Amino acid sequence: GAGVSQSPSNKVTEKGKDVELRCDPISGHTALYWYRQRLGQGLEFLIYFQGNSAPDKSGLPSDRFSAERTGESVSTLTIQRTQQEDSAVYLCASSLYLVGYEQYFGPGTRLTVT
Amino acid sequence: AQKVTQAQTEISVVEKEDVTLDCVYETRDTTYYLFWYKQPPSGELVFLIRRNSFDEQNEISGRYSWNFQKSTSSFNFTITASQVVDSAVYFCALTGAPNTGNQFYFGTGTSLTVIP
């Protein structure tokens, strides 16, 4: 079956512009996660969605970052007034809502802020 | 606190050598799950294995094997007879209940280079 897909694969934007990143999870996966990975670094948790529950936003680094998810489908991560330090790969992962079930990752969106 | 430590930042081995990647974890949960992921140069993280805290049996899958030891809070990963295609960054991760909820805690990764 289809895996997690993300778009765009690459995004170059000017400092101060807003960007929107999209994630399509695996069908049937009710849990969805966003991570940020800076060059050569590990994964930084941003936000977690589970069904219609309130999202866990504890990892969002600033109020310039927000995310939405419609039901159990597509999610969008929005970064407003981008800064150069926002340059990173943004990874999306989905999972069944079972404690301990593995996450499946998308290919990521490489964001470059110039 | 929930934490995963991968002390080895980079490892280089010559092809056909065996290599072990270390993972040490901290958790308050009595039920927890450990994972290994591979991130090849192409960038997409690939799930390799999941173990739960009640199953300490070692697991072998082809050239890969995993050694889970609760006594030392470790979940080490060994690649036997390494190949160039094993070159990647490997991440160890932890989740569990009830303290971690559904959040995953990743280590900082170990970059493995297999030299032909």
Contacts with B95 from chain A: Cβ below 8 Å: 99-100
Distance in angstroms (rounded) separating the CA atoms of residues B105 and B34: 10
Alpha carbons A24 and A109: distance in angstroms, whole number: 12
pLDDT digit string, tens, across residues A43-94: 999 999 988 888 889 899 999 999 999 878 899 999 999 999 999 999 999 9
Q: Which residue of B has its CA nearest to A43?
A: B106
* CB contact (8 A) between residue A105 and residue B44: yes
> Taking Cα atoms as reference points, which of A37, A35, A10, A25 lies closest to residue A75?
A25
| Residue A14, pLDDT score | 97
Pick from A42, A100, A106: CB nearest B95: A100
* CATH fold for domain B3-115: Immunoglobulin-like (2.60.40)
CB-based contact B102 A43, cutoff 8 Å: no
Beta carbons of A104 and B47 less than 8 Å apart: yes
The predicted pLDDT at position A24 comes to 96
Q: What does the domain layout of chain B look like in residue ranges?
A: 3-115
* B43 neighbourhood in chain A, CB within 8 Å: 89, 107-108
Q: Give Cβ neighbours of residue B20 (< 8 Å, ≥ 6 apart).
A: B76, B77, B78, B79
Pairing of strands A44-50, A65-69: unpaired
Low-confidence ranges of chain B (pLDDT < 70): 97-101
**B108 and chain A in contact, CB less than 8 A:** yes
When pLDDT is cut at 50, 70 and 90, the band that residue A1 belongs to is: low
Q: Copy the structure tokens of residue B114.
A: 């297999």
Chain A and chain B share a number of CB contacts under 8 A equal to: 55
What domains can you pick out in chain A, each with its CATH number?
Answer: 16-99 (2.60.40.10)
Integer CA distances (angstroms), A111 to A1, A36, A47, B53, B90, in order:
27, 10, 18, 37, 22
Which pLDDT band, with edges at 50, 70 and 90, does A15 fall under? very high
